[in-house]
Chain A
Amino acid sequence: MQSKEDILDQLFELIRPHSEQPIELSEQTRLIEDVGLNSMKVMELVMQIEDHFDVSIPLNILPDVDTIGEFAKHLETLLEAR
């Protein structure tokens, strides 16, 4: 099982190339306001994360996800349930 820190580190790596400006990514970084993603890019990112972790991530989680930390929390639950 992967620790929360492992998951976060991998998420930072996956998200970094999408950032328009070079910014420091943290648990508190917001995907839309800080990273600069639009709704289509967030959905594209979800597919990449699904493939990286080999897990299904329903788009239904997105309304509850604002920050990378919140995404990681959902991902952790999905990975545990796998």
Chain B
Amino acid sequence: MSILLEKFRPLEEMRAKLVASSGEDPFHVVVERVLSATEAVVNGRKVIMAGTNNYLGLTFDPDCVAAACRAVREEGTGTTGSRMANGSYAAHVALENELAAFFNCPAAIVFSTGYIANLGVLSTLTGPEDVILMDTDCHASIYDATRLGAAQVIRFRHNNPADLEKRLQRLDERASRTLVVVEGIYSMLGDRAPLREIVDVKRRYGASLLVDEAHSLGVLGENGRGLAEEAAVEGDVDFITGTFSKSLGSIGGFCVSRWPELEHMRYAMRPYTFTASSSPSLIASTRQALQVLKRSAGLRTKLWDNAKRLYQGLLEMGFDLGPEISPVIAVKLPVSIEETPALWGELLSQGVYVNLVLPPATPGGSPLLRCSLSAAHSHEQIDVMLKAFATVSAKLQPEHQS
């Protein structure tokens, strides 16, 4: 073995332990066949996919599929170039214009993934003289962006505007050169940022604000524009980033801004410049999905109805859940890391796939069974999920009593 690979031995030992306790590797699930937006074959068994972030269920929307097929025939399988070279097709620019119009913003930039959008925007927007002040529960792409960039990085306590204010105050005159970073819906516990209060603080200190709407685009707001729309503070949000890989059902990322000068940043962003642009089929299905999303009030009602049904059901079983009803529902497990794969495997054996998330990737340090719901889930499927969780609950009972 190469000596360079020796450092991964503890990881392999951990993995072996997890596999031994559940018979599966929770972090290397192979989806053998995709049946629909909500069902797939895993280990030869049909399962309900309840951890896919496919909020509006658009991955099999006939118009999106048709648009992708048409694009691949007409424009080929890939652009084989970056946005800066040969990879900006008319459709990439059209999507940027459509996103700008949707968000009522003068500028939009499309990236190859949501991760890359955060990497590009955050690392380039802020320089050595500037400060990034981020919520502790922000996504890994935001943490990684701070390592690529040169800004000074400070964190504030999760969803705590008073803590944010304390830290802005401490920064004194640097507060006006600070970019506050929060998320619309946090990906692990499904809670929203208290955006009105955060906007109030950032205004008073003259800071800028970036909201990552990855999990809230198409999910929150009357028109699906996310938390900024729901909280009626769109005019105070300076930058919005997001992804096409959740409610829009494809792959890609974007940034929109109320500042037209966002456009100047385009060629300064290494993660924009030095990677291939999204393939024509991805751009085509995303454009079509955005049209669907604009008319998706019915899908959103269905999604939230599903979220309530699962959240209430789990609450009645006595599970410790995230703080609010949301399409992301996290079940906190009161057990050690070693015991969690068996509980996750129990759900899979009952035909339900959810995400297993282990510390240190979880807020608060408890292992999570993380569900994400879709407008495409039926009530019957939610009831199957609840039945499967009932067996997990039963397995936890003796532990509670001991």
B152 at the interface (CB under 8 A from A): yes
Give Cα distance in the complex from A44 to B360, angstroms: 12
Q: Is A55 an interface residue (CB 8 A)?
A: yes
Task: Tell me the nearest residue of chain B to A62, going by C-beta.
Answer: B153
A47 touches B157 (CB 8 A): yes
Q: Once bound together, how far apart are the Cα atoms of A56 and B170, in whole Å?
A: 7
Pick from B154, B166, B360: contact of A58, CB under 8 Å: B154
Number of A residues whose C-beta is below 8 Å from B? 17
Classify the interface of chain B: helix, strand, loop or mixed: mixed
B146 CB contacts on chain A under 8 angstroms: 59
A10 at the interface (CB under 8 A from B): no
CA–CA, A76 and B45, complex, Å: 60
Q: Which residues of B contact A47 (CB under 8 A)?
A: 136, 155, 157
A43 near B171: Cβ-Cβ < 8 Å = no
Given A40-B360, A43-B136: A58 and B155 interface contact (C-beta under 8 Å):
no
A56, B360: Cβ atoms under 8 Å?
A: no
Is B270 part of the binding interface, using a Cβ–Cβ cutoff of 8 Å?
A: no
Q: A61 to B154, alpha carbons, bound, how many Å? A: 11
Q: Is B167 an interface residue (CB 8 A)?
A: yes
CB–CB A39/B167 < 8 A: no
Question: Residues of A contacting B360 with CB < 8 Å?
Answer: 38-41
Chain A residues within CB distance 8 Å of chain B: 38-41, 43-44, 46-47, 50-51, 54-60
List 28 A-B residue pairs with CB atoms under 8 Å apart, sorted by A's residue number: A38-B360, A39-B360, A40-B360, A43-B136, A43-B155, A44-B136, A46-B155, A47-B136, A47-B155, A47-B157, A50-B167, A50-B170, A51-B166, A54-B170, A56-B131, A56-B152, A56-B167, A56-B170, A56-B171, A57-B154, A58-B131, A58-B152, A58-B153, A58-B154, A59-B153, A59-B155, A60-B152, A60-B153
